[in-house]
Amino acid sequence: MEETLHGLAAGSIVPRPQNHAEASLAPILKKEDGRIDWNRPAQEIFNRMRGFAPWPGAYTTFRGQTCHVWGAPMTKADLTVQFPDRTGGRAGTLLTEKNGLFVVCGAQTHLRVQFVKLEGRKQIAAAEFTIGARLKPGERFGDTSFARI
């Protein structure tokens, strides 16, 4: 940016008009744009997390509550080390291992969860969330069958 501004001031950069035929418009974001679709690949979910920060954020539901999630996609090599026997599962399924909390995503990819924020609570590390939530086998983000009674 600095180099461009200096170039404009010095006259070494000549501005040119935008080609309106190639231009695209970005729509105004709505809250529902931040809802995570766990059927998407982990890299795409991660990109949306970054793109929707700080608003509307990337969120899902957990036991009937809105839950903001921050994480990063796992590489194929990480998957083999973390889950040699169980890499499958339905999209949104939570997997806990000694090295962290993971979510099954589309295209047989996984997201390593780093932070979670349940509605009305503060943001916490995934390890704290795992301990406090006492996750049940097969429990998923976005699943309403485990909602609070």
Q: What would the pLDDT profile of 78-99 be if each residue is shown by its tens digit?
A: 665 665 555 568 999 999 988 7
CA distance 84 to 97: 12
Range with the poorest average pLDDT among 2-11, 19-28, 71-80, 81-90 = 81-90
Residue 116 lies in a domain: yes
**Domain of 33, in residue numbers:** 29-133
Residue 108 lies in a domain: yes
Residue 117 lies in a domain: yes
Residue 149 lies in a domain: no
Residue 106 lies in a domain: yes
Instruction: Kindly report, residue by residue over 125-139, the tens digit of the pLDDT.
Output: 999 999 999 999 999
pLDDT score at 149 = 39
Read off the CATH number of the domain in which 68 is found: 3.10.25.10
In angstroms, what is the C-alpha Rg of the chain?
A: 20
Could you identify the residue written with the tokens 């008009």? Answer: 17
Residue 57 lies in a domain: yes
Residue 18 lies in a domain: no
Residue 143 lies in a domain: no
Q: How many domains does the chain divide into?
A: 1
* Residues in Cβ contact with 61 at an 8 Å cutoff, skipping those fewer than 6 apart: 67, 141, 142, 143, 144
pLDDT score at 88 = 65
Cis peptide before 56 (omega within 30 of 0): yes
